[in-house]
Structure 1
Amino acid sequence: MPSTDQDRAPAQIRVSPDRRTLTVVHGDGALDRFPAELLRVLSPSAEVQGHSPEQRVTVGGKRDVAIRDVQPVGRYAIRIVFDDGHDTGLYTWRYLSTLGVEQDARWSAYLNELSLKGLRRDPN
């Protein structure tokens, strides 16, 4: 499969001083800001996404989650280590690019799911 702009490594990845926001600066200077909570609840890990759409888990209680570490994975992704111990998601450049475009819609869908399942953003 040919490489696209979505597959290119960002020019820079920064974590905010409070560890609650990841900023991705793209090669063209555009940037995406992702709250840690969004990245955690939409983790591309099998633990969250499952192995099929039916297995996907709606994760609640992560309003206060923070980013402990960001680790490079080859030339195609990062692993985000969260302060709740979750660290199995590989955030590819393509996934981060897609998430940047779809962030508002995915966040809305997540909030809807929480409501439908009787879950909350706040930890218990």
Structure 2
Amino acid sequence: MTPARWPTELRLSKDKRTLRIAFDDGSAFDLPAEYLRIASPSAEVQGHGPADRKTVPGKHLVEIIGVEPVGNYAVKLIFDDLHDTGIYGWDYLHKLGAEQEERWRAYLDELAAKGLSRDR
């Protein structure tokens, strides 16, 4: 089993559109608010199984308006569209950073396939 990664930095940009997270393994990621919103680990987005997962359109301009600790294992992000039910564990945030390019490409492909847009 891989040991859990521990954050050494967690910072929201002044424009509230990027969350910077660095880990004790030396990795660091700048995660856009839109990416974090569409990848929310909440049941609202992920559903209760792979077939229930939602493609979330229209979040191009979303901002993070709050970052709240959840114990010592995660943060709850609050977005300006008032979505606030996702609990982002440290390992999940690391995975989002490490897989950002391929996850983002898959998201854009899903939007196109469903006739959806990042803007609406």
TM-score where L is the length of structure 2:
0.95
- 1:45-124 correspondence to structure 2 within 5 Å: 45-123=42-120
In structure 2, the partner of 1:43 is 40
TM-score (norm: length of structure 1): 0.92
- 1:62-108 Cα shifts (integer Å, max 9, x gaps): 00000001000011110000000000001001101111111000000
Could you tell me which runs of 5 or more consecutive residues in structure 1 were left unpaired when the two chains were aligned.
Answer: none
The structural deviation recorded for 1:3 is 6.0
User: Which amino acid is 1:96 matched to?
Assistant: L
Is 1:26 equivalent to 2:28 in the alignment? Answer: no
Q: Root-mean-square deviation (CA), in Å? A: 1.1
3-state SS in 2 of match to 1:78: strand
* Matching residue within 7, 10, 14 for 2:11: 14
Structure 2: segments with no counterpart, 5+ residues? none
State the alpha-carbon separation in 1 of the partners of residues 107 and 60 from structure 2.
13
Percent identical: 54
Which residue identity does 1:74 align to in structure 2?
G
Hey, what's the Cα distance between the residues in 1 that align with 2:13 and 2:103? 22
Cα offsets for 1:19-57 (capped at 9, x unmatched): 000000112443101000000001010000000111000
* Secondary structure in structure 2 of the residue aligned to 1:54: helix
Q: How many residues align?
A: 120
Determine if contact 2:18/2:30 at 8 Å carries over to the other structure.
yes
CA contact (8 A) 1:14 1:23 kept: yes
